[in-house]
Amino acid sequence: MDAIARVREACLALPEVVEKPFGGHTAPSFRVRDKLFVMTSEDGLYMTFKASPGAQEALVAESPERFFVPKYVGSKGWVGARLDVEQDWDEIAELIEESYRLIAPKRLTNLLDRE
């Protein structure tokens, strides 16, 4: 399975997620209640996701070959994950879920807690 397909699978497994490109882009982006929580790059080489306070710094410091501070949204705590390098896909799925939890309404995150 290619990297974008893995990202798509992890995102669409979450409650009420829809895939919808961002702005004039054609790359997959994922939203819950029309709020972005994961975006992929046009070239398919990376994705960005929202992270908890302090997570951006920790991920980038621990694995700069895998994670980076993205342009535009990095100042808001978002993290970039390179998809053209070997990734721990269980970790990526957890980071995607965390991003979802930061964006989704409580009612939807409660559904995850019940599973």
E strand spans, 20-77? 29-32, 35-40, 46-50, 67-68
Looking at the structure of the chain, the number of domains it has is: 1
Do residues 95 and 77 lie in contact, with contact meaning Cβ atoms separated by under 8 Å? Answer: no
Do residues 1 and 18 lie in contact, with contact meaning Cβ atoms separated by under 8 Å? Answer: no
Tell me, yes or no, whether 75 lies in a domain.
Answer: yes
Tell me, yes or no, whether 60 lies in a domain.
Answer: yes
Tell me, yes or no, whether 113 lies in a domain.
Answer: no
Tell me, yes or no, whether 45 lies in a domain.
Answer: yes
Dump pLDDT digits (tens) for 21-56. 887 788 999 999 999 999 999 999 999 999 999 999
Domain containing 71 equals 3-108
Dump pLDDT digits (tens) for 61-102. 999 999 999 998 999 999 999 999 999 999 999 999 999 999
Q: What is the pTM of this model?
A: 0.94
Tell me, yes or no, whether 68 lies in a domain.
Answer: yes
Smallest Cα–Cα separation from 98: which of 43, 53, 40, 57? 53
E strand spans, 5-103? 17-19, 29-32, 35-40, 46-50, 67-68, 78-82
Instruction: Look up the CATH number of the domain holding residue 21.
Output: 3.90.1150.30
Phi then psi dihedrals of residue 43, to 5 deg: -90, 0
Tell me, yes or no, whether 80 lies in a domain.
Answer: yes
